Amino acid sequence: MKIMINGLPGNVAIMLTRHILADERFELVPYSLTGPEITAAEHSVEGVTVALVRPEDREGRLAEIKSAHADFISVDFTHPSAVNENAAFYCTHGLPFVMGTTGGDRQALVRTVENSDNLAVIAPNMAKQIVGFQAMLEFAAENFPALFSGYTMRVRESHQQGKADTSGTAKAVVKSFNDLGVDFTADQIEMERDPESQEKQWGIPPAYLGGHGWHTYTLLSEDETVRFEFTHNINGREVYACGTLDALVFLGGQIKEGVTGKVYSMIDVLKG
């Protein structure tokens, strides 16, 4: 499978590129769509040079990329501000993609794919275990609605300083608790992006201040006699790579079956 990793020289994109290079199932397409702030023409990963393609150049260079590397899948770990524009580009040019980038207009993102002949795996979190946790909450919400009615909730999430938006995973978990009867909105999620506070107050190991995802969801009964707390702490980014590779294999199978106009989630990947 030929894979193009978009978002270099971002940390997640670099990590995924290393995994693609080390996995014999995949072949790296040595190009990467990058942001307008990037001035470098190329970036090297494990001794492999990858050409960086800025937004204003990608239309012109796509023919070159397709000519040298036909039938590839794109992986998008770019920036929240680029989500919808990138999806439109992929769909206009028939480029199947796996998108782990959060942010943007998510409903428009899905519509863009469904109104095209393209297909994609789109998920705010590629960590399979976190996705499984979300699936359990969704099951509870479907089968036991209003289970936590009357409970108050506090949500705290900490990510590396460079993460621009509120965690998409936290938003999805909040939605499940809404369906379980909790009155809470996504704008009440408490974000932490300050490394000093993360180390001293949260206890996040210094080695992972530049890459982590710590979440805690606390629920308290109306009379404050019952308390539930759900925590998932991820240090580093390796767990996201494993899920992304699974998503690529899954999407490759759907491509072979001729599926079009379809958006899959990581739940679909796990079931597949």
Give the chain's domains with CATH numbers. 2-122+238-271 (3.40.50.720), 128-235 (3.30.360.10)
pLDDT band at 115 (very low <50, low <70, confident <90, very high): very high
Catalytic residue chosen out of the listed positions 2, 43, 128, 159:
159
Beta bridge partners of 42: 51
Query: Is 66 among the catalytic positions?
Result: no
Q: Return the structure tokens found at 163.
A: 């993460």
pLDDT in tens, 15-43: 999 999 999 999 999 999 999 999 999 99
19, 15, 103, 117 alpha-carbon torsion, rounded to 10°? -30
Per-residue model confidence (pLDDT) at position 131: 92
Exactly one of 43, 79, 163, 215 is catalytic; name it. 163
The burial class, CB within 10 Å (0-12 / 13-18 / 19+), for 65 is: buried
Query: Is-contact 221 208, C-beta < 8 A?
Result: no
pLDDT at residue 164 tops 90: no
pLDDT of residue 91: 97
My answer on whether omega of the bond before 195 falls inside 30° of 0, hence cis, is no
The torsion region of residue 146 among left (phi > 0), alpha (psi -120 to 50) and beta comes to left
157 pLDDT more than 90:
yes
Question: What 8-state DSSP symbol labels residue 180?
Answer: T
Q: Where are the alpha helices (DSSP H) in the chain?
A: 11-22, 58-68, 83-92, 106-114, 128-143, 168-179, 195-197, 238-256, 266-271
pLDDT tops 90 at residue 124: no
Residue 221 three-state SS: coil
Mean pLDDT of 49-53: 98
Distance of CA 230 to the CA centre of its chain: 21
Q: What is the pLDDT of residues 214-268, one digit of tens each?
A: 999 999 999 999 999 999 999 998 999 999 999 999 999 999 999 999 999 999 9
**Residue 63 confidence (pLDDT):** 93
Positive or negative: CA dihedral 100, 102, 104, 108 = positive
pLDDT at position 252: 97
Return the structure tokens found at 115: 């109104």
Q: What are phi and psi of 195, to 5 degrees?
A: -55, -35
Instruction: Give residue-wise pLDDT tens across range 166-222.
Output: 998 999 999 999 999 999 999 999 999 999 999 999 999 999 999 999 999 999 999
Half-sphere exposure (Cβ direction) of 32: Cα atoms closer than 13 Å:
32
Torsion sign, CA atoms 199, 193, 78, 188:
positive
| Measured distance CA(179)–CA(226) in Å, rounded | 19
70-85 pLDDT per residue, tens: 899 999 999 889 999 9
**Catalytic: 159?**
yes
